[in-house]
Structure 1
Amino acid sequence: MGRFLILIHQVLFYTRSVVIVSVFGFFLFGAFPSSVPGQVPLNGIEANATLPKLALVPIERNQDALTPFEKTELRRLFGLGLRELARRPIRGVLGYEQEYWRNPASVYVLRPDDVSLNGHVLTVEAFRGVPGMHVTRGTGYDDFAIMRNFSGSSTEKFLAMVDGREVLQIMGGTVNATGEGVPLEILDRVEIIRGPGASIWGTNAVSGVYNVVTKSAAATQGDSVRLVLRDDGTFLGDYVHGGRAGEDAFYRIWFRDQEYAEGTLSSGLPAKDDGYFRKVGFRYDKTLSRDIDFTFAGALGKRRVDHVLDLSQRLYYDNSAGTLGATPLVPIANLPTHIPGTWPSSRASDLSMPAGFTRYEYWGEMPHDAGHLRTKLSGVSDSDLEWSLAFYAEQYKTFLGHVGHRWERKEYDIDFRANTILGDRHNIAFGLASRHMNLEVEDVVTPPWNFPVIDTIPGTTTPSSMVPTSDIPILDYGENPTKFDRFSAFFQDSYEFTDTLLLSAGAKFEESDLAGTGVQPGARLSWAVNEYNVLWSAYSRAYRTPSLVERYTKVSYARVWVPTDPADPLNPAKGFWMNQSFAGNPNNEKEETDAFEIGWRSQPWVDFTVELSLYHYDTTNAIFSGPPIYEAHDVKTSGGEFTFDYSPFHYWTLKGGASRTISKKEGVETNNFPKTLANFSSHIRLRDDLTFTQNFYYAAERTIPSAYNPQFIPAHLRMDLGFIWRPDESLEIGLFGRDLLDPHHPENMYQDLELEPARVERSLLLSITKRF
């Protein structure tokens, strides 16, 4: 009891100190430390490890002594089972598995404890704890994750994968993080590479890469249930069952049900974002021989939600004659007699609308169905060639009912990768891949837009025909290509000149119907200065393929009433509607980024790790979406990330970081991405079975860009607190308070589709995990 009271006193004392230091650090752009008791991050330690600490002052060691990096790795291995030992290295950017601390890149690894111990429902939410990543909440079913981004929008400029399968949606250039989620019980890790990884991973690996790696079926034997309930009624339930299917063969099946409670918009109006998502998956693993393993896996998901289209600023009156003052275009709300009969009723709101505008919105169903299959053979040859051959098949169907845009995508991939050692210091990695994609696209006119209108040449006011039509959808893909093929190959050559100096160079070659022919080279250097410090540097060239909407789709975003009788210009019977649109640019083949990075990784003793990464991007043809055109610009981005992992006592761990980013578009500084991000986490083990957690997340101010309704998002500091009880390995119960510093705040919305952000509200969360 006395020790418990002493710990409580220390908790209160250090909590106060941490908050003071954290707030002070925010203003000085400091970094926040953190770590999680019981987890095994590659740059941290287990909280209950008892190996002796090293002295703070470096001491001379004999040739066979272990460095602090190696001691940390050894400490982690002591706590692992035999099946887990093989999964400690990460693949990173060299094409073969290597210890985290030797990777010449800004690498971060998330583990299941980073999700459960920090009170997150989904894995994507845990990205808030990764310096350089900006995670925001839109509606109740949308989480946006952006990495070192300069566009500040929902368009992703990084490559997202699940078990090596690319999950970036080619139509809109986004990632459905919810739809691609997996149960926490089967999650092994998420490998996050901040910075281009195109020489290995290829197109779209511009600002970074993340790969969700799931556990083998053998590692998930038995049954487990995870239930998460938020006080607003949002619910998530996961069930995982694993079993044996014969000698050297294992299987698992899993189910997920997620129910979304309706949220509230910033104005106080209902967000109409309730719905559900359900998913089922399986995996089968078998050892075919001593050197060959076989995996067969897949999943099928179904989501049913609604989404909104803002109509408030879509109708205008052509006031070029000056009838209604000097403004050339006047919002039609000033002339209610001109509003079409198909237009929905106005919606009352406390939101301060721009002068002359009345709030109009249209909701449409947004069903989403997706499934995939994955087959993989992997092994090691007699000549020590490690190889894998994977096949992927995927079908994705969705209907954006609010804009009348439906598409179905069928995709087939084959991917071969291998690496081998040539001598004691030489490693080469290489691979070949091919993809075939087929789309079916259908665009329909939604009810509000179903009235006669004169169409125009996109980007102009010149009529394309003087015959009115009611058949102009908001999005029109037209007769543009629907079949796309891609072939790629990569080669990476890594050589260790000494025990401390590693140089790696390589390139990815691609021939694509979308991006043409291109080469994405990269070179990386890693130098272990001594047993405590590693320096690395890198150069990469990376491409991003514009989305199909950006490249091929005509967007009709507004309509203008044109009066025809100068003597009676306000007569709603004397005039016509004219469509306003802009088209994608088929000549936008690819964005090109030249990236320069340097980094420092230090572990002066086992319980303390610090990292610093600096980068500069020079991007040409960067796409910024939004009316009246998808614009391509030259952008220069510079920034840095600082991470910190420290365990001052065996029962207390700290972990955190901060990032700073400055982007200039055509020489003008942008404000659509937070210039400063920071996170800090403190985990204190009050007893062997009880942990108290504190998490802080800070994002600087930014503005969500829009052609007519930009949204200023103020800086905000989020605090989460929680208790986690683990009486044994089979049970975990967590109780968390989230966003405790304010009742609600805005974070994100779809630009030019939604009128205002939803509230991210203070909430309580209960999490229960039981293994049988």
Structure 2
Amino acid sequence: NAVNGVINIITKSAKDTDGVLGSVGGGSEERGFGSLRYGEKVENGAWRVYSKYFNRGDSRDPDGSSAYDATEAVRGGFRGDFDFSEDDKVTIIGDIFSTNEKNEYAVPSTMPPYTTPVKYPADINGGSILGRLERKLSDTSALTLQTYFSSMRRTDALGHMAVDTYDVEAQHDLTVYEHHSVSWGLGYRGIDDEFSAPSDLFSGSPENQSYGVGSLFLQDDISLAEDVRLVLGTKYSYNDFSKSELQPSGRLIWSFSERGSVWAAVSRAVRTPTRSEHNFSGLLTVTPIPMVGVSENQLGPNRGFESEELIAYEAGLRFSPISKMSIDLASFYFDYDKLVTARSGAPIFATDEGGPSITVPLVLDNGLQGHSYGGEISVNYQATPRWRMQANYSLLLMDIEGVPGFTVSNGEDYEDRDNPQHQVSFRSLLELPWDLELDALWRYQDSIENTGTDAYTELDLRLGWNISDQLTVALMGTNLLDADHNEIIDTYPTVVPANYQRAVYGKLTFKFN
């Protein structure tokens, strides 16, 4: 179920990547980066190996000083695609990675100024492997079996985290009575994790836990007429935190001409609770109170926290008014229930060596409801065989309030402005004479009231030169209109905000078959 958005990482088959492809570059912010890939075809398939590296420098704090957030990472992996028969295909994908990143947190403190900047590096390492078998059972039926395992380890000053994930799934696709394309499947994902925190800032109980989610789905793509399709489906899942979940959906598509179609959809989606929401606690903020001392806001877990729920209503239109132009329009209305918020408990008064204090316990709960609505438009225009343009606009409006009988932590209902309401972008891809390319991306983002993030306008440019079929050089500049700007400030009070800076870098790309 992808109502709330999903990231699909689709990589090319190894059969399409034989030969050598590499790149190397660097600049003011992206200090150094490079990649190298080699692929080869064999009798019954193909394989490839690759490696990537990048070193990104520190960004800038709002006061103009250097932030503490540089990152250096290396990743390597392989992929193999093999046809063992006309009906059997096997894919194997694996990778390993190692990352060193710098972090800065404003750790709450009971002493003035009530936060202590803490800078520390983090080491993150891991890897994954995936195997997939695709078998053609008949001209109208196919079976896919897939298994996956990943492992991640993170160590920093706040603690050590280890997460192992294993996943198995099966999917059966078949055509029934010509007008029904049916897909059904089942799967299970299990997670084993460990979290140990040497500081009092965060803690989890238990430190080690195993949990999982099993799922079963069914979808029927029905041809109601030559130009009308109805897609009905549902997904049932069972997890260790919120137990049973059902997520049905329906979508109707009418292709009214060769150049256009209109669609509408209704879906239900949930966000299931995480382990941290059920098991983790920590000191959120410390606030001075005159004549009393300090108030410590202590965030605690809630094992009764339920899934956040969404009913989504969507509609859209895609058409080509002329052969060189396509327009996509989409609108939505999302109805939310049981959204997460912090519920305040009874204050606890205490006196210790540091003086009097008040502890305000905060517990995560399903205390908010509301709706969001908006839309987006995207226009693609091929002005000439050498010049392509794209313009985009999106609108997001949201209204959130406490559920009846529930008092939110700030004591009042509010209109959510944690996201920009308006976003605009324009992209131009132009092929110039002498094998040159000039690409531009202009973008605007509205202000974000709740976090105090100002609106901004930025421009990215790329000038490329295709020296030959095997060699390309490019000069790129990002965020060129301002020396630095802030795009988002995390609402979690311990996260230190940082600004994106103007950057210039070069890149050399080479390939050989």
Normalising by structure 2, report the TM-score. Answer: 0.88
Determine the structure 1 residue equivalent to 2:469: 729
Moved over 6 A (4+): 560-563
Match of 1:535 in 2: 262
User: Which one of the candidate residues 54, 77, 90 is aligned to 1:294?
Assistant: 90
Q: CA deviation at 1:579?
A: 6.2
Match of 2:394 among 652, 656, 659: 659
Instruction: Note the C-alpha offset of 1:715.
Output: 0.6
Identify the structure with the greater helix proportion.
1
Equivalent residue for 1:315? 109
Q: Distance in 2 between matches of 1:383 and 1:685?
A: 44
- 1:671 lines up with 2:388 in the alignment: no
Distance 1:247 1:628, change over 3 A: same
When residues 359 and 590 of structure 1 are mapped into structure 2, their CA distance, relative to the original with a 3 A threshold, is closer
Does residue 699 in structure 1 map to residue 426 in structure 2? no
Post-superposition Cα deviations, 1:237-287, rounded to whole Å, max 9, x if no partner, equal 11111123x411321111111112223211122212224111111112211
Alpha carbons 2:215, 2:237 under 8 Å: kept: yes
SS in 2 for 1:218: helix
Contact 1:242–1:253 at 8 Å: present in 2 too? yes
Q: What's the offset of the Cα at 1:385?
A: 1.1
**Of 481, 497, 511, which residue of structure 1 is paired with 2:224?**
497
Once the two structures are TM-superposed, the CA of residue 368 in structure 1 deviates from its matched residue by 0.9
* 1:371-402: CA deviation from partner (whole Å, max 9, x where unpaired): 1110010132224212211100111111342x
Matching of residues 189-208 of structure 1 within 5 Å: 198=1, 205-208=2-5
**Where do residues 389-408 of structure 1 align in structure 2 (5 Å cutoff)?**
389-401=145-157, 404-408=158-162
For 1:664 and 1:512, how far apart are their aligned partners in 2?
30
- Structure-2 change in CA distance of 1:286 and 1:531 (3 Å): closer
The question of whether the paired residues in 2 share the 8 Å contact of 1:310 and 1:752 is answered with no
Mapped pair 1:435 → 2:189: yes
Contiguous gaps of at least 5 residues in structure 2 = 344-360, 402-412
Matches within 5 A, 1:508-657: 508-558=235-285, 580-624=297-341, 628-632=362-366, 633-657=368-392
CA distance in 2, matches of 1:232, 1:556: 34
Verify the 8 A CA contact 1:376 1:388 in the aligned structure 2: yes
Alpha-carbon deviation of 1:750?
Answer: 3.8
The separation in 1 between residues aligned to 2:133 and 2:120, in whole angstroms, is 43
Helix, strand or coil for the counterpart of 1:588? coil
Tell me how far apart the structure 1 counterparts of residues 444 and 253 of structure 2 sit (CA, whole Å): 32
What percentage of residue pairs aligned between the two structures are identical? Answer: 22
CA contact (8 A) 2:479 2:503 kept: yes
CA distance in 2, matches of 1:358, 1:544: 34
Equivalent position of 1:738 in the other structure: 478
Once residues 601 and 229 of structure 1 are traced to their aligned partners in structure 2, the CA distance between those partners, rounded to angstroms, is: 40
SS across alignment from 2:225: coil
Cα distance, 1:414 vs. partner? 0.6
Query: Residue 209 of structure 2 corresponds to which residue in structure 1?
Result: 482
1:268 aligns with 2:76: no
Structure 2 counterpart of 1:367, from 102, 112, 123: 123
Q: Distance in 1 between matches of 2:116 and 2:278?
A: 29
Label 1:749 to 1:399 Cα distance change in 2 as closer, same or farther (>3 A): farther
**CA-CA distance at 1:753 after TM superposition:** 5.0
2:177 counterpart residue number: 423
Letter in 2 for 1:596: Y
User: Is the 1:206–1:544 contact (alpha carbons within 8 Å) kept by the matching residues of 2?
Assistant: no
* Residues paired across the two proteins, number: 483
Cα distance in 2 for residues equivalent to 1:756 and 1:281: 34
Alignment of 1:109-508 (within 5 A): 198=1, 205-232=2-29, 234-244=31-41, 246-311=42-107, 314-316=108-110, 332-333=111-112, 357=113, 360-401=116-157, 404-445=158-199, 473-479=200-206, 482-508=209-235
Residue correspondence of structure 1 range 7-156 to structure 2 within 5 A: none
**Distance (Å, rounded) in 2 between the aligned partners of 1:712 and 1:275:** 26
Cα–Cα, structure 1 residues 522 and 480, in superposed 2: closer, same or farther, change >3 Å?
A: farther
Relative CO higher for 1 or 2, CA cutoff 8 Å, sep ≥ 6? 1
Give the SS at the match of 1:214. Answer: coil
Unaligned runs of 5+ in 1: 1-197, 199-204, 317-331, 334-356, 446-472, 571-576, 706-710
Q: Give the match for residue 356 of structure 2.
A: none
CA distance in structure 2 between the aligned counterparts of 1:559 and 1:359, rounded to whole angstroms: 8
User: Residue type of the partner of 2:429?
Assistant: H
TM-score with structure 1 setting the length: 0.60
Deviation at 1:206, TM superposition (A): 4.0
CA deviations over 1:559-618 (Å, ceiling 9, x no partner): 68999xx9xx99xxxxxx996522122112311100000100001332110010000111
Q: How far is 1:360 from its partner?
A: 3.2
Letter in 2 for 1:650: P
Cα offset, 1:213, TM superposition: 0.4
Determine helix, strand or coil for the equivalent of 1:549: helix
Summarize the Cα distance change of 1:270–1:421 in structure 2 as closer, same or farther, 3 Å threshold: same
Letter in 1 for 2:148: Y
> What is the root-mean-square deviation in Å for CA atoms of aligned residues?
2.4
- Equivalents in 2 of 1:750, 1:370: separation in Å? 27
User: C-alpha displacement at 1:555, in angstroms?
Assistant: 1.1
1:70 corresponds to which residue?
A: none
C-alpha separation in 2, matches of 1:533 and 1:296: 39
Shift of 1:475: 1.0
Determine the C-alpha separation between the residues in 1 that align with 2:222 and 2:166: 35
Pick closer, same or farther for the CA change 1:717–1:373 going to 2, 3 Å.
Answer: same
Structure 2 residue matching 1:551: 3-state secondary structure = helix
Query: Structure 1: which amino acid aligns with 2:109?
Result: L
Provide the rounded CA distance (Å) in 2 between the counterparts of 1:480 and 1:232: 38
The verdict on how the C-alpha distance between 1:434 and 1:540 changes in structure 2, with shifts beyond 3 A counting, is: same
Pick one of 657, 678, 683 that aligns with 2:429: 683
Counterpart CA distance in 2 for 1:559 and 1:232 is 35
Q: Is the 8 A contact 2:30 2:54 kept in 1?
A: no
Cα distance change on mapping 1:733 and 1:380 into 2, 3 Å? same
Deviates more, 1:552-561 or 1:206-215: 552-561
Q: Is the 8 A contact 1:721 1:737 kept in 2?
A: yes
Deviation at 1:236, TM superposition (A): 1.5
1:233: how far off?
A: 5.4
* Code of the aligned partner of 1:426: H
Change (3 A) 1:584 1:685: same
Q: What corresponds to 2:347 in structure 1?
A: none
